[in-house]
């Protein structure tokens, strides 16, 4: 009886020691992982997370950015934003910017990538040429396209006049009807190369056997594009769509350099509205509240889009 009891105690002790050993290994693994992640997490908290939390706090106060005291006003800033015609108009312009960017970037850049991928000679030249605008600063691009759209000396109006279509010449950045499309076109030119490179990377992962089988079945180029290329690039397209939308919602530099939200707020977006409210009118809390609204919109879209993508991939 004593021997059996002693054996059971020994087995129990060994089991406990094994559990402790496993627990130590798990803790060691987590500590090791945390030691590698800690520097990045600390920097992320200091320069990203803390400012975001602080921005939410500021949005509940009335503060001009210079005063040593802040008056708590609750949600009054958000209530005022809901009644602010300029802010609501800027949200509408952001939505229009998103729609136009998706139309002008997602599928056209994919077609461009497919054409370059099928080039037999000079592929590197075309890749470098189309990617070059992505290397340029947005300040340079803004100045460049402002000159292109110049109503007097710009090449667009000069070309229209040279072919007898002077009636179509416009003040492209001064007409309310054309200013947003003109800005989106400049933004599209600036980011075409980036999305093209993403698509080219995705195209390299598509098996050539799929296209060979389609050729045997007599499929044409359009059929292969819609039935092979696009389904195979679904993940890449999801990434491109999310990047296009986020950039369209956050865009500031190009608009500020070219129009500063004019004429008559017809190219005003939330980011320029925030800048003017905070730094031109000294309404830091009011501008911060607008930035919080924009941030919530971006977060909601990103989370919703990722949920939709995960569900579609699970089917």
CATH number for 180: 1.10.3720.10
Helix axis angle, 284-314 relative to 50-58, nearest 10°? 130
| pLDDT value for 209 | 87
Is the model's pLDDT at 144 over the cut of 60?
yes
Question: What number is the average pLDDT over the span 210-235?
Answer: 86
Q: Are residues 306 and 163 in the same domain?
A: yes
Q: Are residues 132 and 221 in the same domain?
A: yes
Kindly state whether residue 153 falls inside one of the protein's structural domains.
yes
Q: Are residues 119 and 262 in the same domain?
A: yes
The pTM of this model reads 0.84
Q: Are residues 30 and 152 in the same domain?
A: no
Kindly state whether residue 63 falls inside one of the protein's structural domains.
no
- Domain of 306 in residue numbering reads as 72-314
Kindly state whether residue 62 falls inside one of the protein's structural domains.
no
Kindly state whether residue 199 falls inside one of the protein's structural domains.
yes
Q: Are residues 52 and 88 in the same domain?
A: no
Kindly state whether residue 61 falls inside one of the protein's structural domains.
no
Percent of the chain past pLDDT 70, that is, above it, reads 95
The answer for residues whose C-beta is within 8 angstroms of residue 198's C-beta and 6 or more apart is: 236, 239, 240
Q: Are residues 238 and 295 in the same domain?
A: yes
Q: Are residues 47 and 93 in the same domain?
A: no
Kindly state whether residue 66 falls inside one of the protein's structural domains.
no
Q: How many CB atoms lie within 10 A of CB 297?
A: 15
Q: Are residues 279 and 171 in the same domain?
A: yes
Q: How confident is the model at residue 276 (pLDDT cuts 50, 70, 90)?
A: very high
CA-wise closest residue to 114 among 30, 205, 229? 229
Q: Do 93 and 268 touch, CB atoms closer than 8 A?
A: yes
Q: Are residues 238 and 112 in the same domain?
A: yes
Q: Which two tokens stand for residue 309?
A: 């993508």
CA torsion sign, 136 to 142 to 144 to 148? positive
| pLDDT value for 80 | 95
Q: Based on the structure, what is the number of domains in the chain?
A: 2
Kindly state whether residue 253 falls inside one of the protein's structural domains.
yes
Helix runs in 45-150, H state only: 50-58, 76-83, 85-117, 123-135, 138-148
């Amino acid at each position: 009886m004593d021997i059996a009891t002693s054996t059971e105690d020994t087995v129990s002790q060994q089991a406990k020691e094994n559990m402790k050993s496993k627990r130590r290994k798990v803790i060691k693994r987590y500590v090791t992982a945390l030691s590698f992640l800690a520097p990045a997490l600390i920097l992320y908290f200091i320069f990203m997370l803390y400012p975001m939390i602080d921005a939410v706090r500021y949005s509940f106060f009335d503060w001009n950015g210079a005063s040593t005291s802040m008056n708590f006003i609750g949600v009054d800033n958000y209530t005022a934003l809901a009644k602010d015609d300029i802010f609501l108009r800027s949200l509408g312009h952001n939505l229009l910017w998103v729609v136009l960017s998706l139309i002008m970037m997602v599928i056209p850049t994919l077609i461009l990538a497919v054409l370059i991928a099928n080039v037999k000679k000079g592929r590197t030249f075309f890749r470098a040429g189309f990617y070059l605008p992505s290397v340029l600063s947005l300040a340079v691009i803004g100045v460049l396209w402002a000159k292109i759209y110049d109503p007097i000396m710009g090449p667009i109006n000069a070309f229209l006049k040279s072919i007898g279509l002077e009636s179509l010449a416009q003040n492209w950045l001064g007409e309310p009807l054309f200013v947003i499309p003109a800005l989106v076109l400049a933004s599209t030119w600036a980011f075409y190369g980036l999305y093209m490179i993403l698509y080219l990377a995705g195209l390299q992962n598509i098996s050539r056997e799929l296209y060979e089988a389609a050729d045997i079945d007599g499929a044409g180029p359009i059929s292969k594009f819609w039935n092979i290329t696009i389904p195979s690039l679904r993940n890449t397209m999801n990434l491109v769509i999310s990047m296009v939308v986020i950039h369209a919602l956050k865009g500031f530099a190009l608009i500020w350099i070219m129009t500063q939200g004019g004429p008559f707020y017809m190219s005003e977006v939330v980011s320029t509205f925030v800048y003017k409210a905070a730094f031109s009118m000294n309404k830091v809390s009011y501008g911060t509240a607008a930035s919080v609204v924009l941030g919530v919109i971006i977060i909601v879209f990103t989370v919703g889009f990722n949920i939709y993508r995960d569900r579609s991939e699970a089917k």
